[in-house]
Amino acid sequence: MPSAPHDTLTEFSLVHLTDPHVPGEDQALPRGVDTASRFAAAIEAINRLSPSPACVILTGDLSVAGSAGAARRAVGLLRSLRVPVRITFGNHDDPEALRPLMGRAGDAMGKKACQAFDLRGWRILLLDSSDLGLRGGFLGAGQRHQVRVELARAPRLPALLFLHHHVLPLGLPWVDRDNLHDWTEFLEILREVGTVRGVFSGHAHQASRQEWNGIPFYVTPSAGYQFFRDPTGPRVSPEPPAYRLIRILGEAFATEVRPVEMSAPMAEPARPGSASGV
């Protein structure tokens, strides 16, 4: 059954939140940064938004290294969020550790790799690019097929796609080796379908906007810490945590990165090699 045309005056907002990297109480601060406090501050900032967003989409790396203690702490912080949240996973997440901790909200993480839902005349897809604990991203043939199927279910609705790993290379070798490894096959789907209006990801701990075939690809900064855009390797910058606000009006959207005000600087200087990977 074809989807009904949506109201062109529809107006609402979404928040994209990613990469908080919350450690357990017994773990070292990731790269010398008190990411738990920063994640809490980002959640408080989102709770103060007026009007409230329709949904927060969190694209992974909620905790550090899949630690059970880190997962408990991260989920505890997340429970203070006063708007609905949908979650997909990153390379640092252990889905089996996170789902039971979410309680009733566990369904927000989805049981399928490709989560799809309609929201006020838009089709929203959350993709799971995590690949058995590896740093790089991978959707696989099955999930790519599901993307086609879910977009075909609503052929008249504009769509936004969210995943953890960035798709298009950023020109930074240390992070581009870990982007979405089957990105060329993924792009072919987007070319053929024609309803995708934007793709949002995290993983790189910095802001970016690129365009391919008329589709904008956004990377959202981390809710924990940012990296300098340095081709020689990852170096933590003093920038604050951030989230991305996505404002939707009818069939169009606008987006901006919102830095989170912090009352104190990073807990201690970041040291190279204090954490591995991104």
Query: What's the CA gap between 44 and 81, in Å, rounded?
Result: 8
Query: Of the given ranges (58-72, 159-173, 206-220, 263-277), which has the lowest mean pLDDT?
Result: 263-277
Domain ranges of the chain: 11-259
Q: Which residue has the higher pLDDT, 65 or 20?
A: 20
Q: How confident is the model at residue 105 (pLDDT cuts 50, 70, 90)?
A: low
Query: What's the CA gap between 11 and 220, in Å, rounded?
Result: 22
pLDDT digits 0-9 by tens, 65-104: 778 888 899 999 999 999 999 999 999 888 888 877 876 6
pTM: 0.91
CB neighbour list of residue 262: distance below 8 Å, 6 or more residues apart: 37, 38, 41, 240, 241
Fold of 11-259: Purple Acid Phosphatase; chain A, domain 2 (3.60.21)
Tokens of 42: 């980002």
CB neighbour list of residue 182: distance below 8 Å, 6 or more residues apart: 138, 139, 140, 144
> Over the chain, what is the mean pLDDT?
89
Query: What's the CA gap between 242 and 219, in Å, rounded?
Result: 12
